[in-house]
Amino acid sequence: MAYRMILAALMAMALPASAMPRGLALQRSSATVTLPRTILFIGNSFTQGAHSAVRNWHADRVTDLNDAGYGGVPALFKAFTEQAGLHYAVSLETQGGQSLAFHYEQRRRLFDRAWDVVVLQEYSTLDRERPGDPTRYIRAVGQLASLFRARNPQVKIDLMATWTRADEVYTPGGHWRGKPVWTMADDLRAAADRARRANRGVSAIIPVGEAWNRAFASGIADPDPYDGLAFGQVNLWAFDHYHASAAGYYLEALTVFGEVTGVDPRMLGRNERAADELGLSPDLAASLQGVAHAALTER
């Protein structure tokens, strides 16, 4: 898998700078000059960091192609890369409540250029009219992958598989009503796997939903926000039990960071700066870093 492959490469002490991904060769030699590695995030409110302090957090550090002023998960990713000594130029193109098909059909003029890395995040239920149906998702991934590969055949395209929405599990009318809380995230991961198999241009799946499931299973996060918050556990959802809290987006960004860069999220440490600014305790930051690492390595 991509995370473990890149991590192994970075740990190889004899690896020459020329063999490392563009942007990762800095620090190996003071004479090495590298351009920033470009990354584009395409998604909706789950990428924007909606309903949390993450949404506009350090928006000045990233480029919002819609000029909407969002920092979101891309800004967290940027902060992590800086602390890891990596050089990324981070951009995002997002629209709340929309699918990848919308971005391809309505917004592609904004991002039709060469990128080193692209992270694609689909609508939370895959299809608003037919929850759980990956048909449109698979088609949109193919269209976007073809566009980006035409501009840069070496582009790394990663699909983000997101989390279970509590409102879809615990409330009447939810598509996953009555099923175990981890089921929706597992279904979204399965859909991402199908999209990857159907589209050879996809490099990897970012297991964000699986990271959430691990946080539930390990007792770090409360799996049911409707029955009150258990002592000592964190709520990964926002007030609507749909979007993420600051802690939920932090876990999302950690998982993206690990998959894209190959760097162990645990290296950021319990005193990681973004967690401190967002009001997350050092213990929680360290716990979520461990969860992200496990989701990336134990699958």
Quick check: helix, strand or coil at residue 148?
A: helix
pTM: 0.90
Say if 120 falls within a structural domain.
yes
- Domain count within the chain: 1
Alpha helices for 124-245 (secondary structure H): 135-151, 166-170, 183-198, 208-217
Closest CA to 38 of 135, 114, 134, 139: 114
Say if 1 falls within a structural domain.
no
Say if 28 falls within a structural domain.
no
CB under 8 A, 24+ apart: contacts of 12-19: none
Say if 228 falls within a structural domain.
yes
Say if 66 falls within a structural domain.
yes
pLDDT tens series, the chain, 299 aa: 666 655 555 544 333 333 344 444 333 334 455 789 999 999 999 999 999 999 999 999 999 999 999 999 999 999 999 999 999 999 999 999 999 999 999 999 999 999 999 999 999 999 999 999 999 999 999 999 999 999 999 999 999 999 999 999 999 999 999 999 999 999 999 999 999 999 999 999 999 999 999 999 999 999 999 999 999 999 999 999 999 999 999 999 999 999 999 999 999 999 999 999 999 999 999 999 999 999 999 86
Closest CA to 118 of 199, 206, 40: 40
Q: Name 78's Cβ contacts closer than 8 Å, sequence gap at least 6.
A: 58, 61, 62, 88, 90
Distance CA 287, CA 281 (A): 10
Say if 25 falls within a structural domain.
no
3-state secondary structure 74-110: HHHHHHHHHHCCCCEEEEEEECCCCCHHHHHHHHHHH
Q: Name the burial class of residue 263, with classes exposed (0-12), middle (13-18) and buried (19+) by CB atoms within 10 angstroms of its CB.
A: buried
Confidence (pLDDT) at 85: 97
- Asked if residues 150 and 187 have their Cβ atoms less than 8 Å apart, the reply is no
Say if 69 falls within a structural domain.
yes
Say if 159 falls within a structural domain.
yes
Q: Are strands 63-64 and 37-43 parallel, antiparallel or unpaired?
A: unpaired
List the domain range (segments joined by +) for residue 266. Answer: 34-297
Distance CA 83, CA 273 (A): 9
> Which CATH number fits the domain that encloses residue 165?
3.40.50.1110
Confidence (pLDDT) at 17: 38
Confidence (pLDDT) at 13: 36
Confidence (pLDDT) at 32: 54
Confidence (pLDDT) at 299: 65
Question: How many beta carbons lie within 10 A of that of residue 279, not counting itself?
Answer: 10
Angle at Cα 26 formed by Cα 253 and Cα 203, nearest 5°?
45
Question: How large is the greatest C-alpha to C-alpha distance in the chain, in angstroms?
Answer: 62
